[in-house]
Amino acid sequence: MIGINSNINSLVAQQNLNSTQSALSSAITRLSSGKRINSAADDAAGQAIASRMTSQINGLNQGVSNANDGVSMTQTAASGLSQISDNLQRIRQLAVQASSGSLSSSDQASLQKEVTQRIAEVNRIASQTTYNGTNVLDGSAGTVSFQVGANVGQTIGIDLSNGVSAAQLGGGLPQKGATIGTLSGLSLTSAGAATTGTAKADITSINVLADGKGGFTFTDQNNQALSSAATTALFSGTTTGTGTALSLTAKGALVGASTTQTAAIKAASAANVQTTTTTYAAADTKLGATIDLDANGLLPDLSGAGTGAATDITGINVYADGNGGYKFKTVANGTESGSYLSTADASKLFTQTPNAGGVATLTGTALTTTTGGADQTDITAVQNDAANVATATTTSPTTKLGSVSISLKADGTVAGSADTPAYSSVNIYGDGAGGFTFKGVDANGAETDISASVTGLFDTTGGTLTGKGALADNANATGAADGIAQANAQNVPPKVSDIDLTKANGANLAIESIDNALDSVNSIQADLGAAQNRFSSIASTQTAQSTNLSSAQSQITDANFAQETANLSKAQVLQQAGISVLAQANSMPQQVLKLLG
């Protein structure tokens, strides 16, 4: 049908021309940008995938940059360590030279001057080696973390917490069995009581040995090991209190009938008196004294022993009455009675009289010689008041120095016993700040921190273990005035900062100290070298990952120029054809006019 109101051919030509115009515009955009996806309209899913890939690629590339920064930091630290190692090697060489017997003390002093300068240079390098403002050798940087991956948590760290100043290098534990000091005039502590022991007779000194694990063992001058119970008394608590001057003198023997155990008195010769002193405590506190009876219920070795068999009562325990006096409980075959002796019965046994000097005296059988056992040790126990002491002589070579109690035996000897200590040994550890912590080891091997119990007992500065003084100032105790004699750890290598070639054995200890310091430096260098290699590996690996991701992203986002060029040519031809056809379609209604003419 021929009409003039509707030009359908023109409308069709316009529609096709619009389509070719859109295709032409898309081809021109892709060819000009080089990307297939220029907006979400091009490929919504592809654009989302490409965006995530872009984040990963950028993160990986930045991680590579961070890893390279890590390489630079480790190289900086390693360079400083190399210089420190050179200085330590020179100090060691000087120490070897100083250990020669051909050098005089003035020669050693000259060598020490260079050592001092080398130590100063070690400290300078440690304090001034920095990377981007961070000191890498003094330990202040701690662990430096580097983000080497594209995502959270993909980090590695460099441990720079081990400083390498002269005060932080060297030192160390002595070899197992090395004598590191001799203790004498020891002021010890035991459970609830302080004791002071001075070596007598065969035991003339106590040697402190290393156990090879950071702890100590103890022997006498003949290298006979002392019991751990005797030595761990160093690390217990101290009880304080006040005492009262009083003498407690045995008046005679306790004679008991075989059935009723009625107390009776036998006179004692003044020549047969063994004196033991003890102190007071709060009421009902058991004192460190036990009076053992012989088989006849008598005080041992008193003259004029009476008759009568004591079949049950085997001893008497002494207690404080809280008023400066004593109370007594009988012991029957190892079991203590539940009640105290009456005042009347107690007064038949002992006379309590004031005594000058704040010392209470318990008098029993005299004893000037002992039988059995060659090792004799005087033990002084401070129960409560530092001014009041108790002394006794023991023949046991394994006498424990904790919570001492005194017993008068039937054979006339005096024995010392003690409560079993809580710890069988004490281990000493470094605290990471140049000091020490102490841990008690029980019979099962479990450790308990007892550092608070030994606060103030030892001075551990300068590579020494030094007693600082008595826990109880005891005027009646024999031994060192301070209570604890110094025990310098003469065989413990000092820190590099404390190296002194002029001291006795100083050169040999310096060699050992420098060897330990070099071991520490070598260990840090090894860690840094491993970290540097790891950073380099990360940089290489992530560069490859970034390349692969970029290739994958290119497949999604980049334009195919061959295809898009063809699309452009096609769109251009169609565009030109469409315009021509549209012009012809628009002119077709004019042909109708010929019918009217």
pLDDT tens for each residue of 214-245: 555 666 656 666 666 544 443 333 323 333 33
Q: How far apart (Å, rounded) are the C-alpha atoms in residues 27 and 381?
A: 105
Please tell me the predicted confidence (pLDDT) of residue 590: 81
| C-beta neighbour count of 78 within 10 angstroms | 17
* 175: nearest Cα among 512, 514, 520: 512
Please tell me the predicted confidence (pLDDT) of residue 334: 74
C-alpha distances in angstroms, 574 versus 62, 268, 560?
Answer: 48, 143, 21
Condensed to tens digits (0 to 9), the pLDDT of residues 402-442 reads 222 333 333 333 333 333 345 556 666 666 555 566 677 77
Most confident of the following: 43-47, 223-227, 360-364, 437-441: 43-47
Q: Sign of the C-alpha dihedral, residues 490, 491, 492, 496?
A: positive
Q: Sign of the C-alpha dihedral, residues 589, 592, 596, 597?
A: positive
Q: How far apart (Å, rounded) are the C-alpha atoms in residues 532 and 76?
A: 11
Please tell me the predicted confidence (pLDDT) of residue 176: 55
Return the CATH superfamily for domain 50-171+499-547: f41 fragment of flagellin, N-terminal domain (1.20.1330.10)
Whether 171 contacts 493, CB under 8 Å = yes
Most confident of the following: 6-10, 177-181, 424-428, 547-551: 547-551
What percent of the chain has a predicted confidence (pLDDT) above 90?
31
**What ranges do the domains of the chain cover?**
1-34+565-597, 50-171+499-547, 179-236+453-492, 246-417
The residue with greater pLDDT, 147 or 267, is 147
Q: Which helix (H) or strand (E) segment is 33 a member of?
A: helix 8-33
Q: How far apart (Å, rounded) are the C-alpha atoms in residues 329 and 351?
A: 16
Q: Sign of the C-alpha dihedral, residues 332, 333, 338, 341?
A: positive
Please tell me the predicted confidence (pLDDT) of residue 130: 94
Q: How far apart (Å, rounded) are the C-alpha atoms in residues 255 and 320?
A: 24
Q: Where are the alpha helices (DSSP H) in 279-389?
A: 343-349
* 113: nearest Cα among 501, 504, 550: 501
Average pLDDT over residues 161-174: 84
Q: How far apart (Å, rounded) are the C-alpha atoms in residues 508 and 502?
A: 11
* 403: nearest Cα among 235, 188, 193: 193
What length does the chain have? 597
Tokens of 543: 């560069």
Residue 199 confidence (pLDDT) above 90: no
3-state secondary structure 40-70: CCCCHHHHHHHHHHHHHHHHHHHHHHHHHHH
